[in-house]
Each structure stands twice: as C-alpha cells, then as structure tokens.
Amino acid sequence: MHFMRRSRSLMLALAGTVVIALSAAAQQAWDGKIVRYGTMREAIGQQQSQGRVLLSDMAGQSHFYGVAALEGLAGEVTFFDSSPTITGVSGDGKLAPVTGEKLQATMLAGARVPSWREHAIEKDTPAAEFDQRVRGAAAQAGVDVSKPFVFALEGEFSDVRLHVIHGACPMHARMQQIELPKEKQPFEGEYRSIRGKVVGIYAEDAVGTLTHPATSTHVHLIFKDAASGEMVTGHVERMALVKGASIRLPQ
C-alpha cells in the first residue's frame, strides 16, 4: 500500500512536470510583434539620423533578431539570436567591425523569436524572385504575410550585391541622382557566391518605413570578410538563393 501511494504521488508529480513543460513550450511562440525605432524616411530621406535606441538594450533581450543602421548612418547592424554584428567603413574604404558600449541605432526593426520553423530551399531561386520566395514559404507555414514578420536564412547565396552605409545611403543617392562626397562613400560589394546568415524583415506596402522602393524585404547578411577574416554584416540590395540553403520562419 505504501508503494502504491508513492507511485501515485510520483505520477502526479510527473504529470505536473508535463503540464509545466507544455506551458513553457506554449510560451515559446512568437507574439507577432515587430519592434521598431525610426524609419528609413526619417533616417535617410529627412537626414534625422540621431540615436534612438541603445544596441545593448536589444542585445539584452532573449532571442532577438533584427536589422538596424547606426546613429549618424555610420554603419550596419544585424542581430542574430541577440548577438549583434556591427560593421562600418574604414578610412581606406574597407569593411571594419565596430565596437563600443553605448552604440545606438537610428533605425531598427526586429522581433523576439524564441523558436523557428525551418524549411529547405529545394531549388535555386533568382534574385528577382527573392521576395516572392520568402512570401510563399511564409504563407505555406501559416504566417500572416499581410503583417510584417522577421525571417532568417542560412547557407550559400549567389548573385549578391550589398553595401555598408558611411554617413549616407548609396541606394537613396542613386535614386535621387546624388553624388556622394568622398567622406560619405559607402562600401559596396558584389559576390558571385558567398556563405552566411541572413536576417530580414518582410513587410508589404512599407516603402519608406521598413523597406526601400520596389521591394517588400529589408535584408542584412552576416558573413566572413575574405580580406580581414572578420565576421561582418551588410545591407543586401540583391540576392539569389542556392538550393540547400534553409529558410527559418517564426514559430
């Protein structure tokens, strides 16, 4: 009888453990919220590039993924699982990791994503179809694509063009036919093939707030710079997906 009472107590305790575990698992879902500070229109178009949020505040949150531009448009920032990769441009025009305790972003968008659904890219996808591929995968996974959401990619990419801002945005300058002075020349690179991690925001009808014109995504790439061997990041202007890469969508 004593053994049966102990067994019953053990079963109840285990049941309680299961309930707690299930409750904890339920809390791991993305809450659907996108964290935003500043807009592209403010920081780039209106040249209101003052600091709006400390990078350390975002790094202090668990499972944060996001893209950002440094105060003064002094570089690019990418958060992957709360770890920021921060990159600027050196005096000789090369990629340069940036460090500092009180760095701020003038524009930032991201989300806390505790868990992901991962899907393999089953075929090569040209750069012109990048947005549609992300949208299609998200819709298939049950994500509400009418609202902004964060996504991640990992693997090999091709036909990549990216930049790192250096006081001004080269895409905005090209669209406005503005010639940037030497002290604001960005880093611009093109890569036939490159491996790395991507963090992006998909947002329809968000030109001027979250995205540049003619795109529904704001994408950053984290990769190893061949020249320095350092991990760096840049704002992606164009990217094709290679079969075998994986796309992650919020759980």
Task: Tell me if residue 90 falls in helix, strand or coil.
Answer: coil
* CATH number for domain 35-250, candidates 3.40.50.2000, 3.30.1330.80, 1.10.3720.10, 3.10.129.10: 3.30.1330.80
Task: Say how many Å lie between the first and final Cα of the chain, rounded.
Answer: 46
Distance CA 110, CA 239 (A): 20
Phi and psi based region of residue 162 (left: phi greater than 0; alpha: psi -120 to 50; beta: remaining): beta
Quick one: DSSP state of residue 10? H
Radius of gyration of the chain from Cα atoms? Answer: 21
The residues spanned by each domain of the chain are 35-250
pLDDT of residue 27: 52
pLDDT of residue 24: 45
Q: What is the pTM of this model?
A: 0.89
Task: Tell me if residue 141 falls in helix, strand or coil.
Answer: coil
pLDDT of residue 18: 41
* Percentage of the chain modeled with pLDDT above 90: 88
Q: Find tokens 């049966």 and name the residue.
A: 4
Tens digit of each residue's pLDDT, the chain (251 residues): 444 455 454 444 444 444 434 344 445 889 999 999 999 999 999 999 999 999 999 999 999 999 999 999 999 999 999 999 999 999 999 999 999 989 999 999 999 999 999 999 999 999 999 999 999 999 999 999 999 999 999 999 999 999 999 999 999 999 999 999 999 999 999 999 999 999 999 999 999 999 999 999 999 999 999 999 999 999 999 999 999 999 999 99
Distance CA 220, CA 236 (A): 5
Instruction: At 171, list the tokens.
Output: 């895409």
Q: Find tokens 């611009």 and name the residue.
A: 188
Write the pLDDT tens digit of every residue in 8-60.
544 444 444 444 343 444 458 899 999 999 999 999 999 999 999 999 999 99
Element housing 9 (H / E)? helix 2-26
pLDDT of residue 28: 80
